[in-house]
Amino acid sequence: MELVTEVLIRLPVKRLVRCRCVCKAWCSVISSPDFVSMHFSRLHNNEDQPLLLTLYSTGRKTLCTLRSALTYKRVIGKDYEIPTADHLEDLKNFYMYKICYANGLVLMTKTFTSETLLWNPLSGKTLELPPTWSDIDRSVFGLGFDTTRNDYKVVVIGKYPGVLVQIYELRAPFWRTITNCNCEESIIHKVDFNGLLMEGTIYWIAQDSEDISSHIVLFDVNNEVFDYIMLPKEVGEYCEHKYPVMYRGKLGLLHIFDRHLCSLWVTEKDQAPRAWVKLFEVNLAIDDHLYYRHHFHVLSFNENGQLIFATTKGRGVKLYDFESQEMKQLLKTFPYGMMHSIPYKESAVLT
C-alpha cells in the first residue's frame, strides 16, 4: 500500500477524485487527513504559479474559474476545470462577501438562510455545516488550519446582542463555544470583513465608525486565543477600505482612501509593541474620470507587492506593482456586476 500511496500523492486533485472509485482501500487512503496533508505539501512545494479562484456574475448566473495571480489569464486544462456542485447551482444567491479560504478549501454563506458551506472547487464536493447559534447576516467568519490537530477550523464571531465565538472542526462535526476569548469583547465586537489566514493566524479588521478607532484582531488557530494590534493613527483617520494582507512574509495593511489613493503598511511579528511602517503611498487614478465618477475594486494582493484591481464602468482589470511602480492592463473590459478573486491552492480535502 505504501507504493500505491507514493503514486497517488503525485496526482492532481481531479484525477484523485476518479481514483477513489477504484476500490475501498484507495478511497480510504485518499480521504485520510494524513494523505491530504502530504499531498498538499508535495503539490505546492516551491510553487511558481500562484492561482486565483475567480467568481463572477454574468447577470443570470455565477461562473467560477481559475486564473493566474500574476497575469490574470484563465488557466486552461482538464485538471483545472471547476465542476458545478449541486449546492452551488444557485451560487448567485450567496453572500459573495462572506467568503473565506484556507489550503484549497473555501467557506461560503448563503443569503437569507443559515446555510454555511465548505467547498473544494476542483473536486466539486461540498459540506453543509449545521446552523450556528449566531445571526449569520451579523456574523464574521474565518477559516483556518490547525497544524497540531491536522484539521480545518471554521470560526464564527457573532456580534449581536453580545459577542459569541463558535468553532467547527471537520473531525468534530458540531459547533462549540469559546468561553474565554482572552481579548476585549469591545474590540472583537467591531470586527468586519472576513478573515485572512497567514501562518496559522486569522486576521480581521476591527473598526468603529463613530470614534474611528481601528485594530487588527488576531486569532491563533492552534491555541484558540485572540489578540489585537492597534492600526496606525494615520490610517484610523479615514473610515474607508482596509485589508489585512501578507507582504514578503510580514503582516501588511492595504489602505484605500479618497476613492483612488492607496497605501501599504507592514509590521514586524517579533516587535512588542507592534510598530507600523508605511512603505508606499500611490495614486491609482487612471484618468480624471476615475477621480470624479469611478471607484476601483480590489481583486487580489500578491505577497510580492502586486495589486490586481478592477475599475468600474467597464474600464478593465489592472495590475500595479508597488516595488517597480509599474501599471499593467490585464483585461480591457470588466463587465461583471460582482467579482471576487481569492488565492487558491489545489487540495485533496473533501475529495
How many domains does the chain contain in total?
A: 1
**Distance between CA atoms of residues 110 and 92, nearest Å:** 9
- Tell me the per-residue pLDDT of 275-333, one tens digit each, with 9 for 90 and over: 899 999 998 875 544 444 456 778 889 888 999 888 765 567 889 999 999 998 888 87
Is position 218 within any domain? yes
Q: What is the pLDDT of residue 326?
A: 92
- Is 238 among the domain residues? yes
Read off the C-alpha cell for 33: 487527513
- Please state which of the ranges 62-71, 80-89, 135-144, 147-156 shows the lowest mean pLDDT: 80-89
Who wins on pLDDT, 155 or 97?
A: 155
pLDDT tens digits along 203-236: 998 876 555 568 888 899 999 989 888 888 888 6
Domain assignment of residue 215, given as a range: 32-344
Residue 178 has pLDDT above 90, yes or no: no
Q: Is residue 6 part of a domain?
A: no
Stretch (H or E) spanning 31? helix 24-31
Pairing of the two strands 306-311 and 250-257: unpaired
311 close to 78: Cβ distance less than 8 angstroms: no
Cα separation, 139 vs 180, whole angstroms: 18
Q: Is there a domain that residue 221 lies in? A: yes
Range with lowest mean pLDDT among 67-81, 113-127, 279-293:
279-293
Residue 16 in domain: no
Q: Read off the CATH number of the domain in which 317 is found.
A: 2.120.10.80
- Banded model confidence at residue 90, pLDDT cuts 50, 70, 90: low
pTM: 0.86
Q: Is residue 19 part of a domain?
A: no
pLDDT band, very low/low/confident/very high, at 8 (cuts 50, 70, 90):
confident
Q: Which DSSP state fits 132?
A: P
Write out the DSSP string of 216-248.
Answer: EEEEETTTTEEEEEEPPHHHHT--SEEEEEEET
Cα–Cα distance for residue pair 254/300, rounded to 1 Å: 11
